[in-house]
């Protein structure tokens, strides 16, 4: 499959969480409206919802991502960065959603600020792709070895975090972790 055949939503407003969800699912499932509904369910009594930007432009938190995945019979497993990505059982992982530092820009001017940004990584037809919504098109990472290198590099940033997107039963039985690595 070429990069042109890989589903890839591009960045709009502060909707990177929605783009990461749709990109990891490889279809447009979630919208700003569905994410806002999830926010309301998570904090029904709040006038100012703590799970999104007060400006209404997005900037959804991890709770929205987790609830969205649960609605699709999937789960988000937080990756403990003290482990090596060699411990991952890749065949059990549907995809990855990373939260990484990202530069802030106004038009063509890059500001000396960094904010948090959600991005997706997913295997499509045997190749892993970086589906960051800030990219012009998907970037082929390669096979499993190249993916492990990519994830290790991303996680080496102090504030980077990673969620494994797995089926619920995989979350429950812990099979996303290689059996020989559970004590590491």
pLDDT, tens digit (0-9, with 9 covering 90-100), for 97-114: 998 877 665 556 555 555
Which range marks the domain in which residue 128 is found? 15-173
- Domain annotation covers residue 1: no
User: What pLDDT does residue 143 have?
Assistant: 96
User: What pLDDT does residue 30 have?
Assistant: 87
First to last CA, the chain: 36
Residue of 14 and 51 predicted with greater confidence: 14
Q: Which of 8, 19, 51, 117 is catalytic?
A: 117
Is pLDDT of 88 > 90? yes
* CA atoms of 125 and 184, how far apart (whole Å): 31
How many domains does one find in the chain? 1
Q: Which of 8, 16, 51, 94 is catalytic?
A: 16
- Domain annotation covers residue 121: yes
Please report, for the domain that includes residue 166, its CATH number.
Answer: 3.90.70.40
Active site residue 16: yes
- Domain annotation covers residue 58: yes
Is pLDDT of 118 > 70? yes
Question: Could you tell me the strand order of the sheet in which 139-142 lies?
Answer: 74-78, 161-167, 95-106, 109-124, 127-130, 139-142
- Domain annotation covers residue 110: yes
- Domain annotation covers residue 180: no
Q: Which of 3-7, 27-31, 156-160 has the highest mean pLDDT?
A: 27-31
Q: Which of 19, 61, 132, 173 is catalytic?
A: 132
Active site residue 132: yes
User: Coil, helix or strand for 117?
Assistant: strand
Residue of 41 and 142 predicted with greater confidence: 142
- Domain annotation covers residue 146: yes
* CA atoms of 12 and 5, how far apart (whole Å): 21
> What helix, strand, coil percent values describe the chain, rounded to 5?
35, 30, 40
Residue of 115 and 142 predicted with greater confidence: 142
User: Which pair of structure tokens corresponds to residue 157?
Assistant: 């940033």
- Domain annotation covers residue 90: yes
């Amino acid at each position: 499959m070429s990069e042109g055949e890989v589903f890839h939503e591009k960045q709009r407003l502060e909707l990177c969480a929605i783009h990461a969800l749709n990109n990891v699912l490889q279809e447009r499932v979630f919208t700003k409206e569905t994410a806002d509904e999830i926010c309301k369910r998570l904090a029904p009594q709040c006038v100012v919802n703590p799970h999104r930007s007060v400006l209404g432009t997005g900037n959804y938190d991890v709770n929205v991502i987790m609830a969205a995945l649960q609605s699709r019979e999937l789960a988000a497993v937080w990756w403990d960065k003290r482990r090596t990505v060699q411990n991952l059982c890749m065949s059990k992982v549907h995809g990855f959603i990373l939260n990484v530092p990202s530069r802030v820009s106004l038009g063509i001017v890059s500001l000396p600020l960094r904010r948090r940004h959600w991005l997706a990584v997913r295997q499509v037809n045997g190749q892993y792709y970086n589906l960051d919504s800030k990219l012009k098109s998907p970037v082929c990472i390669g096979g499993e070895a190249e993916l492990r290198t990519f994830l290790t590099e991303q996680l080496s940033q102090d504030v980077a975090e990673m969620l494994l997107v797995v089926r619920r039963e995989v979350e429950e039985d812990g099979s996303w972790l290689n059996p020989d690595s559970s004590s590491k």
